[in-house]
Structures are given as C-alpha cells and as structure tokens.
Amino acid sequence: MMAPDISRFLLAVLFSASCRVIIASDQICIEKEANKTYNCENFGLSEIPDTLPNTTESLEFSFNFLPAIQNRTFSRLINLTFLDLTRCQISWIHEDTFQGHRQLSTLVLTGNPLIFMAETSLNGPKSLKHLFLIQTGISDLKFIPVHNLENLESLYLGNNHISSMKLPKAFPTRNLQVLDFQNNAIHYFSREDVRSLGQATHLSLNFNSNDIKAIEPGAFGSTVFQSLNFGGTFNLSVIFDGLQNSTTQSLWLGTFEDMYDQDVSSDMLRGLCEVSVESLNLQKHHFSDFSSTTFRCFTRLQELDLTATHLSELPSGIEGMNSLKKLVLNANNFDQLCQVNAASFPSLTHLSIKGNMKKLQLGVGCLEKLGNLRKLDLSHSDIEASDCCNLPLRNLSHLQSLNLSYNEPLGLQHQAFKECPQLELLDLAFTRLRVNPPQSPFQNLLFLQVLNLSHCFLDTSNQQLLAGLPVLRHLNLRGNPFRDGTIPKTNLFQTVGSLEVLILSSCALLSIDQQAFHSLRNISHVDLSHNSLTGDSMASLRHLKGIYLNVAANNIRIIPPRLLPILSQQSTINLSHNPLDCTCSNIHFLTWFKENLHRFEGPEDTLCTNPPSLRGVKLSDVQLSCGITALGIFFLIVFLFLFTVLLIFAVKYLLRWKYQHI
Amino acid sequence: MKGFTVALLAWTLISPCKGSSGSGSREAWPTHIACRDGGLEMLYQSCDPLQDFGFSVDQCSKHLKPNINIRFGIILREDIKELYLDLALFSKGSSVLNFSYPVCEESLPKFSFCGRRKGEQIYYAGPVNSPGFDIPEGKYQVLLELYTENRSTVACANATVICS
C-alpha cells in the first residue's frame, strides 16, 4: 500500500521537476525587443524553448547544443529574419530545415563541425542575403547547397580549408557583394578561378592571411572590384602581376606584427602602374629603399595609408601625386612635421599623423602648401608647443576639422587659430592648455560649431576664454574644475549664446548660480553628471524648456516643490545615482516623479538612500502616505474635547460670577 | 523496491535538469602554468565565467627579452574588429601599474587575427611587442582583460608571477 503512494509522490516530484526546466528556460532567453528579438546565448539548450513567442524575428542562439537541425527544429518560428547558430555543435543540416522560413535573410553557422548539408537544407527563404560559414571545416565549395542562393549578397567562408576560390558552375553570383575567404589555404589564383565569379561586379573580395604565392598574370584583369584584401602577403609584386588591368576602388595590402616580413622595394611597387586603384593601404610594411621613385606608380591614387610603416621621413621631390586627397601616416617615427614634405601632395584634403612614436615637433609652416586641407589629425603624437598654433598651421585657410587631442601641453595665445578661420570642429581633449586671462584663443572662429575641451585643465574663471565663437553649438568642458566649485553669475558662457549642447560633467561642481546660464537660450542638452550638485542648482535651468538634462551621480537629496515646474518643462531627465531622500520631506517630488516616469532616463538606477529602511529601493516603487497619522488624530480629538470641557466650565463660572454680583 | 526505482529514475532525471538551468554555482577554472623556468613562474586562471583559455610564454626568464613569443588558444565570444587589452599589476596588494593597449583597431589591425568573428577558434603563436626588462624578485598579481569596443569580455585572466 505504501509503495504506490511513494511512487505517486515521486512522480509528482518528477513532473514538477520537468516543469521547472521550462520555467528555467523561460528565464534564460533575454527579451531585447518585445515579441521580436531574443537572446538565448550560452545556455546549452538542446531545443527552441517553448516560451519564445511565434512572432520572434531575431534570435541569437549561439553556444547551445543542436547536433542535428531539421524541418521541425525551428518550425514554430516562421517569422525569423535573423538566426545566429554560432557554435551549436551542429553536424547535420537536414532536408528542408528552413522550409517554412520565408523571411529569413541572415543565417550564421560559424564554428559548427558540419558534416553534411542536405541539398534542400537552405530552401525556403525568399531572399537569403547573408550566410556565415566561417570555420565549419569546409574544404570544397561544392559543400554549399546552391539551390536557394540567388539573392545572396554576402558569403563568409573564413578559417576553413579552402585551397581554391573557384566557385562551382551553378553558383549564383548575380547579387553577390561580399565574398570573404579570410585565413584559408589559397596559394594560387588562375584566370579560370576568377572567371567563376561570373557577372558579379563591384565585389568585395577578402583573401586576408592566405599566403598567396602566385597569381596567373592578369587573372583579375578587366574586372571591376569594390575592394580587394590581400593582407599579410609579403611579396607584393605577385599581387600586382595578378591585378594587371583590373580596377578596384580599395586595395588592402597591409601586413601584421606576426607575419614574416620581406622588405618592400620600389621595384615591387612598379606593378601598381598597371592597376587602377583609388585607395591603397600598406600598413606595417618595411620599405628597403624609400625614395621619390617608390611613388612612381602612385600617381592615380586618391587615398594612401602608410600606417606604422617605420617612416621617419617622406622623400622630397615626389612628382605627379597631384590627385592624392587623403594621406594617413599614423604610428610612424617623424621628428618634425616638415619631414612629411607635404608640398608633394598639393591636392590633399585629409591628413592624419596620429599616434606618432616620437615627440612630434610642429615646426613653422610645414603644411603651408596644403591650401585645400579640410581635415587634420595630429592626436596622440606627444606634441608640445609653447605658442600654438598660428605658425605651425600657417596658410591652412580651408581647414574645417582639427584634432590635437591627447598631446603634451600647448600654450595658446590670443587668436591662436587665426590661420584656420574656416574651422568647424576643434578637438583638444586631454591636452593641457595654457591660456593667460583675459586672452581669447578661439577669437574669430566664425564657423566653429563643435569644441571639445574636456580634461584640458583650463582656467574656467577666464570670462573671455570662449569669446568670439558666434555659432558654437556643442561645447564639452568635462573634467575642468571651476573655482570654489561654483559657476557664478558672470561666467565664460556669456559669450556663447548659441550653444545647444553643453557638457559639464566631472567638473567638481558644488553649486550653480541661478543666473549662470541666463545667456544660453538655445540649449537642448545639458550634462551635469558626476558633480556634487544639490537640488537647488536646478533653479539655473528655469528659463529652459524641453531639454535633455543629465544630473546623474550628484548630491541631490531633496527637490523642493518650487523647483518641480522647472523639471516639468524638460523632456528627459537622468537623476540616477543620487542620494535621494524618500521621506515625507520630499513627498512632492516623489509624487511628481511617479506621475512623470516617462521623462526619466535610467529609472532602474534612480534609488532611495534615506531613510535607511528604503535604501536601494527604486524611487518608482516607493509608497508614502504623509497625511496626519492615526495617533495624531487621536491626540487632536482628545485635545479638542478637553478644550471644549474647559471652555464650558469657564463660561459657567463666569456667568455664575456675573449673576452673583448683579 | 518499486519506490526506490522510481526515486532513482526521478533523481537521474532531475540532476541534468539542474545542470541545464545554468544557475548552479560552477567551480572556478583550473589554474594553469604559463611558464616556469629561469627563476620565473607564471600562473594564470581564467576569470571569464563562460570559458577557460590556453596561454603559454616561450623562453621564460626573469631577464625578460623584448618581443617575447607567446601561444594563445581561445574560442571567441565576440567579433574582434576592435580589441583592447587592460593590464593591472599589483605587488603586495598595492597597485603598481595600469595600462590599456589597443590590440586591434579598425584603422590599425596590428595582428593577423584582428577582424575574426564570434565563434571562431583562435590559435596564435607569435611575438607580442613587449619591452625587455628585468623582473625584480617578488610575487606579483596581474589582472589581464581583453575586451571589445562595447566592453564585452573576450578573455579575462587572474595571473600570479613569482620571481625568485
């Protein structure tokens, strides 16, 4: 009699256990967009959880366990457009697996040990556009079923055992835009290999890390490519021979730290004369005989990237490079800006010398022949100058964007950027600036819209610091302390009335004067986060409406009722990480907060600090009633009662006294 | 007897369920030896709760040569078009050195593995451009973290270096 009871009980336990698994898997998938986007990564699931809605469109299912996938595996989720099955230990993809998935456009199968894909395994989707078969053990391109690839735009085949890029005869290439063979074993290309690309034009082909040893001369001839990447190939002449007469927008021939490097000689680059290229990258190569003849075949280039090519000088007297628009010389070893010999590139509009390995001297007028220069990046280059920047930037009258961030101290005099009156963007972040008050270094930058002065150690009490910037929209002053932690009534913002975005985070602010932002009428975004401001500073925003206001990580405890109208007129507010008070002394704000929850950014981090019993509770969850308590009402009634009794007695006594003396 | 059978059945069915729910506390990854030679011992443990990784240093010595060769094997859980290394060195509980170094950037992919994608297995055997220096005697704690532009962890290591 006992045994069946126990077994029934255990069956119940068993049943509840299997229920728990379903509940657990319910919690596993993270909802990123309701009913549409779910993430179920890293849970070793062996099937699609029942709890995923049928309407799911985007599913990240990587790092789970699906040894074989077939028709019924995903059959319920017919609206899938994106399916990521990275490293799910898939060995088999059986017939008609995606038959019902008409909308599927991206399928990721990276890192699965595929043994076989059935002939009809990819049938079903109306337009399958992106297919990732990276590191799936493919050695023969015939492995990929071709029946439903007419709409394929990108095919990723990296990290396999492919030794020939020749596509099978039936392979549709009409819509193909990206074909990625990174890190395979392709050592040779024949004309026939390239011919298999069929009608595809403006294709991006990636053969990075393939150790290419030979190409049949002209194999790529008379084809037009969007981009070609032969990264890590050390014998560049092999590549150029193969590319004879071809046309490509961008050619990437850089190498890497871990590659065996053969010096590039000027002879090797001769082949470039036969190729039509707009943009060329040669990063990390060593050049054996760098001279003006090295550039003989570069004359048609529009962009040249020589990042980290161990250069300490560009030769003077390079001829015919009139069409070069963009030159990247990052991470090289220049001592002096003049060593770039910029005069050889008169049409240059973009120049980048970022992350120079040595201390870069700006010199005088080194770039003065670059009258067309629009964009100059000299960041992270250890630049130090006591009097910047008119002499070094002489004649750059068309410069629109200048980046001098992350450098050594710069001394700025009055009108320090007079030579570049067209500047629209100036980035000086993390470069210490020396400005003597009351000088105005940015005076007369009539077009400057964006100015980044974060962590520049500025003297913010200089009221003329920002004078002469009539159209400045975006100002970043993060990390610059103000004197006494206060922004006074008269301050440096009075000259920049056109500001729309103002960033004053991490400025060690304690208070802001009520009138401090009075001249800022157009502002739409104020970031005051990471200071020590209290609720009272909010009064300085009285005249502003509809702004984004970030006061996260300050010292705001109580927001008095008189300030609530000021907050009410703003569109988005971030009050997170403040020591907010959740007692009755803050009841008006707390009530208002709940009514205006939609205005708040980061409500999950907007927590109470006081009283201790509510510490860490979300402000939106707090329930307070701050009327008179029951005890108070009781005492009030008792008091009134006693008072009435006393009054009656007094009147009675008074009347009696009066009558007795008549 | 019947009850016992059912109990056993129930137990075997419940046990793997707990495993798959992923909520159970997992043991820490084992501590591995990156190198042990020439008066230097380097031990490390993965601090990524999701996976372990393999790492070793060739020619281990307290007179560390420049551009040492390493071997490194891992499965990527993120695309590494952009990859950064943070290193924090502690000695006797106090911080000695902190630095951040870009390994892969879109504008400068330093290594051939830059640009590989989530799910790829990576094996790297080659140089790292490290400076040569002599390691003073002592015991050091090193925290290494590789992460992407979204601050998603690619690898995390708690290492101990003992130089005697």
Q: Is A463 left (phi over 0), alpha (psi -120 to 50) or beta?
A: alpha
| CB spacing of B119 vs A135 below 8 angstroms | yes
Helices and strands per DSSP (H, E), number in chain A: 6, 37
pLDDT score of A15: 41
CATH of domain B30-163: 2.60.40.770
Residues in chain A with CB shorter than 8 Å from the CB of B129 are 257
| CB spacing of A14 vs B50 below 8 angstroms | no
pLDDT score of A434: 95
pLDDT at residue A490 is higher than 90: yes
| CB spacing of B111 vs A256 below 8 angstroms | yes
pLDDT at residue B45 is higher than 90: yes
**What does each C-alpha distance from A54 to A22, A57, A159, A331, A414 come to in angstroms?**
16, 9, 34, 52, 66
Residue-level length of chain A: 662
Q: How large is the average pLDDT for residues A271-288? A: 94
CB of B97 within 8 Å of a chain A CB? The answer is no
pTM > 0.90: yes or no: no
Nearest chain B residue to A134 by CA: give it: B120
Query: Hey, where are the domains in chain B?
Result: 30-163
pLDDT score of A124: 94
Is the pLDDT higher at A378 or at A261?
A378
ipTM: 0.83
pLDDT score of A624: 79
Average pLDDT, chain A: 91
Residues in chain A with CB shorter than 8 Å from the CB of B118 are 62, 86, 110
| CB spacing of B2 vs A45 below 8 angstroms | no
CB of B12 within 8 Å of a chain A CB? The answer is no
pLDDT at residue A76 is higher than 90: yes
Residue B123, min C-alpha distance to chain A (Å):
11
**What does each C-alpha distance from A523 to A427, A499, A520 come to in angstroms?**
21, 6, 6
Residue A567, min C-alpha distance to chain B (Å):
32
pLDDT score of A201: 82
Residue B20, min C-alpha distance to chain A (Å):
7
Helices and strands per DSSP (H, E), number in chain B: 1, 11
Minimal Cβ distance to B112: which of A18, A256, A331: A256
pLDDT score of A418: 95
DSSP string, A583-631: SGGGHHHHHHHHHTGGGEE-GGG-BEEESGGGTT-BGGG-----S--HH
pLDDT at residue A27 is higher than 90: no
DSSP string, A70-128: -TTTSTT-TT-SEEE-TTS---EE-TTTTTT-TT--EEE-TT----EE-TTTT-S-S--
**What pLDDT digit, counting tens, does each position of A491-547 carry?**
999 999 999 999 999 999 999 999 999 999 999 999 999 999 999 999 999 999 999
CB of B112 within 8 Å of a chain A CB? The answer is yes
Q: Is B104 left (phi over 0), alpha (psi -120 to 50) or beta?
A: beta
Q: How many CB atoms lie within 10 A of CB B50?
A: 13
pLDDT score of B119: 96
pLDDT at residue A13 is higher than 60: no
User: Residue A503: is it exposed, middle or buried by C-beta count within 10 angstroms (0-12/13-18/19+)?
Assistant: buried
Sign, CA dihedral A501-A505-A509-A510, equals positive
Residue B139, min C-alpha distance to chain A (Å):
31
Which of A7-21, A269-283, A462-476 is predicted with the least confidence, judged by mean pLDDT?
A: A7-21
Minimal Cβ distance to A283: which of B17, B108, B119: B108
pLDDT score of A630: 67
Query: Hey, where are the domains in chain A?
Result: 28-162
pLDDT score of A629: 64
Minimal Cβ distance to B110: which of A7, A158, A256: A256
Q: How large is the average pLDDT for residues A375-400? A: 95
Cis peptide before A438 (omega within 30 of 0): yes
The CATH superfamily label for domain A28-162 reads Ribonuclease Inhibitor (3.80.10.10)
CB of B119 within 8 Å of a chain A CB? The answer is yes
**What pLDDT digit, counting tens, does each position of A447-477 carry?**
999 999 999 999 999 999 999 999 999 999 9
pLDDT score of A39: 95
Tell me how far the alpha carbon of residue A485 is from its chain's centroid. Answer: 32
